[in-house]
Structure 1
Amino acid sequence: DLFMERSFEDVTLASIAKASGVSHQTVLNHFESKAGVVRGLAESLAQQTNAARHAARAGDVHGAINALVGEYELMGDANVRWAMSADR
């Protein structure tokens, strides 16, 4: 949720740990770095996106549109925010 709401630079390992209800050291042990957390997040989101895409059968236009809109609703704002922070 933090990465969806804030830019990469504005998220700290301490804030990730606090939001997750674990210690800073636990986050480091599991992910090794903030970039590791992002990789884990990306893998999780990719699995969710792939599942949604495959839920629509061939020829199911309504299902395909729902999957596409759902994917945008999940990631659209975060993608824009991250793209804008990359320009800094």
Structure 2
Amino acid sequence: MRVVLARLRCNGKSPILQKNLYDIGASLCDACLQCGQSLDDLHHALYDYPKVDFFWSLIPGDHMESLRQSPVEMIEFLRASQWLPIA
């Protein structure tokens, strides 16, 4: 989990984001594999992913800041929103 968060903190330069995989030539598509609606970048994962609206009440405040300062809550958010299905 620490690796996942560290990669997300690096401005979304993470292999779990399709945008990053597309940028390095490892994917033919930069769209979100979960919803197919948008560019799969960090902003999409934290703000635009359709399932996140309900779960934002779990983490008050700025979500980019939560990614840095509240890693446990951020992991719970990502699990609950089903954007990041990690054990």
TM-score by length of 2: 0.30
Q: Which has the larger share of helix?
A: 1
Select the structure with the greater relative contact order (CA < 8 A; seq sep ≥ 6). 1
